[in-house]
Copies of this chain bind each other. A is one copy, B any other.
Amino acid sequence: MALIVQKYGGTSVANVECIKNVAQRVKQTWDMGTKVIVVVSARSGVTNELIGRAKELNPRPDSREMDLLMSVGEQETIALLSMALHALGVPATSRTGAQAGILTDDTHMRARIHSISGGDIVDQLDEGKVVIVAGFQGVSINGQVTTFGRGGSDLTAIALAGALKADSCQILTDVDGVYTADPRIVSDAKKIEEINYEEMLELASSGFKVMQSRAVEFAQKYSIPFEVRSSFNQKPGTIVKEETPMLEGIMVTGVALDRNQTRLTVTELPDKPGTAAEIFNILAENDIIVDMIVQNIGRGGVANISFTVSRDDADRAELGIRKHFSDRTGDDFVSQTEIAKLSVVGVGMRSQPGAAAKMFDSLAQANVNILMISTSEIKISAAIEPGQADDAVRALHDEFNLNQ
Contact = CB atoms under 8 A, between A and B. Distances in A.
Instruction: Give 4 closest A-B pairs by Cβ, nearest first.
Output: A69-B79, A72-B72, A58-B83, A58-B87
Interface stretch (A91-99, A241-249, A259-267, A362-370): A91-99
A66 interface: yes
A359 B156 CA distance: 67
Nearest to A82: B65
Interface residue range, chain A: 35 or more
B68 A83 contact: no
A58 B94 CA distance: 15
A83 B145 CA distance: 16
A81 B369 CA distance: 54
Contact of A86 (B58, B68, B96, B119): B58
Interface stretch (A48-56, A194-202, A278-286, A311-319): A48-56
Contact of A16 (B57, B87, B145): B57
A379 interface: no
Given A58-B86, A75-B75, A86-B62, A53 B80 contact: yes
A65 B94 contact: yes
A158 to B, nearest CB: 24
A40 interface: no
A19 B61 CA distance: 15
Interface in A8-48: 16, 19-20, 23
A112 interface: no
In this complex, the member of A65, A66, A71 whose beta carbon has the largest number of chain B beta carbons within 10 angstroms is A65
A270 B31 CA distance: 53
Contacts of A93: 64-65
23 contacts: A16-B53, A16-B56, A54-B83, A57-B83, A58-B87, A61-B83, A62-B83, A62-B86, A64-B93, A65-B79, A65-B82, A65-B83, A65-B93, A65-B94, A68-B94, A68-B96, A69-B76, A69-B79, A72-B72, A72-B76, A96-B145, A99-B143, A119-B143
Contacts of A20: 57
A340 interface: no
Contacts of A145: 96
A96 B72 CA distance: 11
Contacts of A83: 54, 57-58, 61-62, 65, 69
Contacts of A59: 87
A78 interface: yes
Contacts of A94: 65, 68
A84 interface: yes
A389 to B, nearest CB: 41
A76 B79 CA distance: 16
B96 A57 contact: no
Contacts of A16: 53, 56-57
A271 to B, nearest CB: 45
A68 B58 contact: no
Contacts of A54: 79-80, 83
Given A57-B16, A99-B143, A80 B87 contact: no
Given A16-B53, A96-B145, 5 more contacts: A50-B76, A54-B83, A65-B93, A72-B72, A75-B75
Nearest to A74: B72
Contacts of A82: 62, 65
A48 to B, nearest CB: 14
Interface in A144-183: 145
Contacts of A68: 75, 78-79, 94, 96
B96 A84 contact: no
Contacts of A119: 143
